[in-house]
Amino acid sequence: MIKNISMFAVLGVILFSCNSIQNKTTTANSAEQLNGTWELNYISGPRIAFDGLYPNKKPTITFDTKENRVSGNNSCNSFTGKLNVDGYKINLKEGIASTRMMCMGNQGEQVFMDTMLKITSYDVTDNGKTLNFISGDIAMMRFTKK
Protein backbone atom coordinates (compact mmCIF):
# COMPACT_ATOMS: atom_id res chain seq x y z
CA MET A 1 0.00 0.00 0.00
CA ILE A 2 2.72 2.47 1.01
CA LYS A 3 4.68 1.40 -2.07
CA ASN A 4 1.70 2.30 -4.32
CA ILE A 5 1.25 5.69 -2.67
CA SER A 6 4.95 6.47 -3.07
CA MET A 7 4.82 5.49 -6.73
CA PHE A 8 1.82 7.79 -7.34
CA ALA A 9 3.59 10.65 -5.55
CA VAL A 10 6.70 10.26 -7.72
CA LEU A 11 4.58 10.02 -10.86
CA GLY A 12 2.70 13.19 -9.83
CA VAL A 13 5.96 15.12 -9.33
CA ILE A 14 7.23 14.02 -12.75
CA LEU A 15 4.00 15.03 -14.49
CA PHE A 16 3.93 18.39 -12.71
CA SER A 17 7.57 19.07 -13.71
CA CYS A 18 6.89 18.23 -17.36
CA ASN A 19 3.84 20.50 -17.41
CA SER A 20 5.82 23.40 -15.90
CA ILE A 21 8.54 23.05 -18.54
CA GLN A 22 5.93 22.91 -21.32
CA ASN A 23 4.19 26.10 -20.04
CA LYS A 24 7.50 28.00 -19.93
CA THR A 25 8.28 26.90 -23.48
CA THR A 26 4.81 27.95 -24.67
CA THR A 27 5.19 31.38 -23.03
CA ALA A 28 8.62 31.92 -24.58
CA ASN A 29 7.40 30.76 -27.99
CA SER A 30 4.38 33.08 -27.83
CA ALA A 31 6.59 36.14 -27.40
CA GLU A 32 8.96 34.97 -30.15
CA GLN A 33 6.02 34.97 -32.58
CA LEU A 34 6.00 38.77 -32.30
CA ASN A 35 9.55 39.20 -33.69
CA GLY A 36 9.79 41.10 -36.94
CA THR A 37 7.87 43.89 -38.64
CA TRP A 38 4.08 44.04 -38.93
CA GLU A 39 1.93 46.39 -41.05
CA LEU A 40 -1.46 47.64 -39.83
CA ASN A 41 -4.45 46.70 -41.99
CA TYR A 42 -7.37 47.26 -39.57
CA ILE A 43 -8.08 49.56 -36.64
CA SER A 44 -11.28 49.71 -34.59
CA GLY A 45 -13.06 52.86 -33.57
CA PRO A 46 -12.69 55.73 -36.02
CA ARG A 47 -15.56 56.67 -38.28
CA ILE A 48 -13.15 57.41 -41.09
CA ALA A 49 -12.35 54.64 -43.57
CA PHE A 50 -8.97 52.93 -43.06
CA ASP A 51 -7.60 54.26 -46.36
CA GLY A 52 -8.73 57.75 -45.35
CA LEU A 53 -6.82 57.51 -42.07
CA TYR A 54 -3.66 56.27 -43.76
CA PRO A 55 -3.70 57.56 -47.36
CA ASN A 56 0.08 57.70 -47.83
CA LYS A 57 1.64 55.20 -45.45
CA LYS A 58 0.27 52.44 -43.22
CA PRO A 59 1.60 52.24 -39.66
CA THR A 60 4.12 49.52 -38.84
CA ILE A 61 5.38 47.98 -35.62
CA THR A 62 8.59 46.00 -35.11
CA PHE A 63 9.30 43.71 -32.17
CA ASP A 64 12.67 42.54 -30.86
CA THR A 65 11.88 40.13 -28.01
CA LYS A 66 15.55 39.40 -27.27
CA GLU A 67 16.20 43.07 -26.49
CA ASN A 68 12.64 43.70 -25.17
CA ARG A 69 12.21 46.59 -27.63
CA VAL A 70 9.36 47.79 -29.80
CA SER A 71 9.62 50.38 -32.57
CA GLY A 72 7.76 51.46 -35.65
CA ASN A 73 6.10 54.24 -37.57
CA ASN A 74 2.59 55.55 -36.90
CA SER A 75 2.20 56.73 -40.53
CA CYS A 76 4.01 59.99 -39.84
CA ASN A 77 6.35 59.75 -36.86
CA SER A 78 8.67 57.02 -35.65
CA PHE A 79 8.29 55.56 -32.17
CA THR A 80 10.37 53.32 -29.93
CA GLY A 81 10.12 51.92 -26.45
CA LYS A 82 10.36 49.05 -24.02
CA LEU A 83 8.45 45.85 -24.79
CA ASN A 84 6.51 44.40 -21.85
CA VAL A 85 5.21 40.91 -22.69
CA ASP A 86 4.07 38.16 -20.31
CA GLY A 87 2.66 35.20 -22.19
CA TYR A 88 -0.07 36.72 -24.36
CA LYS A 89 -0.41 39.86 -22.25
CA ILE A 90 1.26 42.97 -23.63
CA ASN A 91 1.69 46.48 -22.26
CA LEU A 92 2.57 49.28 -24.68
CA LYS A 93 1.78 52.11 -22.24
CA GLU A 94 5.19 52.49 -20.65
CA GLY A 95 8.23 54.13 -22.13
CA ILE A 96 7.08 54.82 -25.70
CA ALA A 97 8.83 57.84 -27.23
CA SER A 98 7.90 59.36 -30.58
CA THR A 99 9.37 61.89 -32.98
CA ARG A 100 7.32 65.07 -33.52
CA MET A 101 7.30 65.80 -37.25
CA MET A 102 4.32 67.76 -38.51
CA CYS A 103 2.19 65.81 -40.95
CA MET A 104 -0.62 67.79 -42.51
CA GLY A 105 -4.02 66.12 -42.61
CA ASN A 106 -2.86 62.95 -40.87
CA GLN A 107 -5.65 62.01 -38.45
CA GLY A 108 -4.63 58.37 -38.31
CA GLU A 109 -1.41 59.01 -36.40
CA GLN A 110 -3.20 59.97 -33.17
CA VAL A 111 -5.81 57.21 -33.59
CA PHE A 112 -2.98 54.65 -33.89
CA MET A 113 -1.10 55.89 -30.81
CA ASP A 114 -4.25 56.21 -28.67
CA THR A 115 -5.40 52.71 -29.61
CA MET A 116 -2.00 51.19 -28.82
CA LEU A 117 -2.31 52.50 -25.26
CA LYS A 118 -5.51 50.47 -24.81
CA ILE A 119 -4.02 47.12 -25.84
CA THR A 120 -3.88 44.44 -23.11
CA SER A 121 -3.14 41.23 -25.05
CA TYR A 122 -2.38 39.82 -28.47
CA ASP A 123 -2.67 36.71 -30.55
CA VAL A 124 -0.89 35.53 -33.66
CA THR A 125 -2.99 33.60 -36.19
CA ASP A 126 -2.90 32.38 -39.80
CA ASN A 127 0.32 30.40 -39.27
CA GLY A 128 2.16 33.47 -37.97
CA LYS A 129 0.96 35.88 -40.67
CA THR A 130 -1.61 37.90 -38.67
CA LEU A 131 -1.15 39.76 -35.37
CA ASN A 132 -4.24 40.89 -33.47
CA PHE A 133 -4.04 43.47 -30.69
CA ILE A 134 -6.83 43.06 -28.16
CA SER A 135 -8.28 45.32 -25.47
CA GLY A 136 -10.17 43.25 -22.92
CA ASP A 137 -11.88 40.83 -25.29
CA ILE A 138 -12.25 43.18 -28.29
CA ALA A 139 -9.89 42.99 -31.28
CA MET A 140 -8.77 46.60 -31.77
CA MET A 141 -5.96 46.33 -34.33
CA ARG A 142 -4.87 43.78 -36.94
CA PHE A 143 -1.41 43.60 -38.53
CA THR A 144 0.07 41.51 -41.34
CA LYS A 145 3.63 40.17 -41.17
CA LYS A 146 5.96 41.97 -43.59
Contact yes or no for 84/90 (Cβ under 8 A)? yes
pLDDT in tens, 89-110: 999 988 799 998 888 777 899 9
Is the CB of residue 44 less than 8 Å from the CB of residue 141? yes
Segments of the chain scoring below 50 in pLDDT? 4-27
Note the pLDDT of residue 30.
75
pLDDT value at position 45? 86
Q: Which residues contact 51 (CB under 8 A, 6 or more apart)?
A: none
d(CA 37, CA 6): 52
Please give the pLDDT value at position 2.
60
pLDDT of residue 4: 46
